[in-house]
Structure 1
Amino acid sequence: MRIGKQDNAFTAIATSDEHSITVRGHDLVGDLIGQIDFTEYFWLLVCGHRPTDAQKTMMNACLVAIAEHGLVPSVQAARMTLAAAPEAWQGAMAAGLLGMGTVVAGSSEIAGRFLAEVVAAGGDEAAAVRALEGVKAARKKVPGLGHPQHSSGDPRADKLLEIADKLGVSGPHVAALRHLGKHAPAIMSRPLPINVSGAIPAVILDAGWPLEALKAVPLLARAGGLAAHLYEESRRPIGFILSHNADLAIAYDGERAK
């Protein structure tokens, strides 16, 4: 198959005609609008089937856990973009979402893929120890573990794992995460509690969410938080204050004009 060419061009997500709109096999007007909540619809759109009650509850918990995280770089980028272009909510929202990478929010995907590798290698304590030793040898950080503020334990992660246990969702990914959390402090020689970026992929993968769609979860969650910041920015702007404080905080150390 040539790059850019697809012999079987199909989509299983949605279609419409002059009389109806069909989404994942359901009539949008007759079956979904007013009868399904957004988290359930999100699961249906991505996975192609409605979630069970446990799956929906777990997804809800994950979305709530990370929707808002204060004035992190992605939020500052969004607010300063809106300050510079108050008519461009879409641009400001995009600025915030584009800033979600391996350090902020997108770290859940990195942790999820790491957990999947541990599970594929056996998922037991021995597999976790081997994975940790590999990370240490590569002089890398352990995905899903450690927090600069919550050194004794990330309360969001603890709550998500508690919910997963109560729902009966916890499975091989949660077990692997707990094995990593148990052995990491000794192997890495520092406190490394399970953080929310590790808990989210563990519980949601065990709930049945696809690995390839992991990043969609923090993206959707943070879109809600960004909407709040952009609305507040439009009413009580701080974007230029953030920009001015950056000028004050950063000293010039380049060459001087002669």
Structure 2
Amino acid sequence: MRIGKQDQAITSIATSDDKSITVRGHDLCSELIGKIEFVDYFWLLVIGKTPTNEQRMMTNACLVAIAEHGLVPSVQAARMTLAAGPDSWQGAISAGLLGMGTVVAGSSEIAGRFVVDIVKKCADGRDIEEVCRESLERIKAERQKVPGLGHPQHSAGDPRADVLLKLADTHGISGEHIQVLRMLAKLAPDIINRPLPINVSGAIPAVMLDAGWPVDAMKGIPLLARAAGLVAHLFEESQRSIGFIMSHQADQAIAYEESETSEFAHGHQQPKGRTL
């Protein structure tokens, strides 16, 4: 059964034969291994060309900023998975990455698209403050969270975001996406009725977009970074396990409450299964 588009059966990333491996037109063994840094290789793989000095610096900074934030839910999922299956590193890494959703660690893409949409609306000459205000008022009316703003722990301001934005300013990277993000943060308190400082998941897409990284690949930045952090947690888990400690603490902290709507809560017997 044929599903989806069937034309353009091509790839421009890599190919190999019995004697060589070619990546984006470069011989892997003679041109890349030992001659290129990983961030440069990452840009080459995704974009098709190596980054400028400023792009390299900004990418490194973003990866370092988001790689680790303690025992967040995705890390706990990974460590408990490894505790239950010590031979399944790939499963534990997957559990951690799958936990990077729209609430914790994985919201950079959403914030990036939000900022890009505002930039596009301003492209025809509309005032940036007007468009940002309209966007915030719409979000308030829909009772949604503002992408890229606010943090449950760093409520007074996310220090990671501050450093990333300062780096972008210092190295001449700051452009229209950072301008939009800062305008949103400026207007948000009056419209949303509470302070909403820029968070790291807002700063990362803003600085990377201004650096030339595509929004369609934005989620790859936190995914790559957190994969490195998860490796650290899984190695520690293999040496000094806390996975079952976390599981036990969760079991102790959560109370059982019988559902009043359950038929079994009202004296009904569970139907007996048919014996085959």
TM-score range, shorter chain: over 0.9
Inter-partner Cα distance in structure 1 for 2:15 and 2:107: 34
Structure 2 counterpart of 1:112: 112
Structure 2 counterpart of 1:128: 132
Counterpart code for 1:189:
N
Displaced runs of 4 or more, over 6 A: none
Structure 1 counterpart of 2:270: none
Aligned-residue identity in percent:
68
Inter-partner Cα distance in structure 2 for 1:8 and 1:250: 52
Counterpart code for 2:101:
G
Inter-partner Cα distance in structure 2 for 1:8 and 1:198: 35
Deviation at 1:257, TM superposition (A): 9.5
Counterpart code for 2:146:
V
2:173 corresponds to which of 169, 181, 193: 169
Structure 2 counterpart of 1:102: 102
Question: Unaligned stretches of 5+ in structure 1?
Answer: none
TM-score, normalised to structure 2, is: 0.90
Structure 2 counterpart of 1:68: 68
Inter-partner Cα distance in structure 2 for 1:101 and 1:136: 22
Inter-partner Cα distance in structure 1 for 2:255 and 2:239: 31
Inter-partner Cα distance in structure 1 for 2:142 and 2:120: 20
Deviation at 1:57, TM superposition (A): 0.5
- Give CA-to-partner distance per residue, 1:38-81, whole Å, 9 cap, x none: 11111110011111111011000000001001111110000000
Structure 2 counterpart of 1:202: 206
SS in 2 for 1:121: helix
Deviation at 1:121, TM superposition (A): 1.2
Structure 2 counterpart of 1:18: 18
Deviation at 1:84, TM superposition (A): 0.3
Equivalent residues in 2 for 1:96-245 (5 A)?
A: 96-122=96-122, 124-245=128-249
Deviation at 1:230, TM superposition (A): 0.2
Structure 1 counterpart of 2:81: 81
Inter-partner Cα distance in structure 2 for 1:224 and 1:169: 26
Deviation at 1:4, TM superposition (A): 3.5
Question: Unaligned stretches of 5+ in structure 2?
Answer: 260-264, 268-276
- Give CA-to-partner distance per residue, 1:180-234, whole Å, 9 cap, x none: 0110011111010011010000000110111110100000000000000000000
For the aligned residue pairs, the C-alpha RMSD in angstroms reads 1.3
Inter-partner Cα distance in structure 1 for 2:22 and 2:55: 23
SS in 1 for 2:15: strand
Equivalent residues in 2 for 1:31-46 (5 A)?
A: 31-46=31-46
Deviation at 1:166, TM superposition (A): 1.2
1:246 partnered with 2:250 = yes
Deviation at 1:156, TM superposition (A): 0.4
- Give CA-to-partner distance per residue, 1:81-114, whole Å, 9 cap, x none: 0000000000000000011100111111111111
Inter-partner Cα distance in structure 1 for 2:99 and 2:156: 28
Inter-partner Cα distance in structure 2 for 1:248 and 1:257: 27
Deviation at 1:5, TM superposition (A): 4.5
Inter-partner Cα distance in structure 2 for 1:95 and 1:37: 28
TM-score, normalised to structure 1, is: 0.97
Q: Go from structure 1 to structure 2 and tell me whether the alpha carbon gap of 1:5 and 1:179 turns closer, same or farther (over 3 Å shift).
A: closer
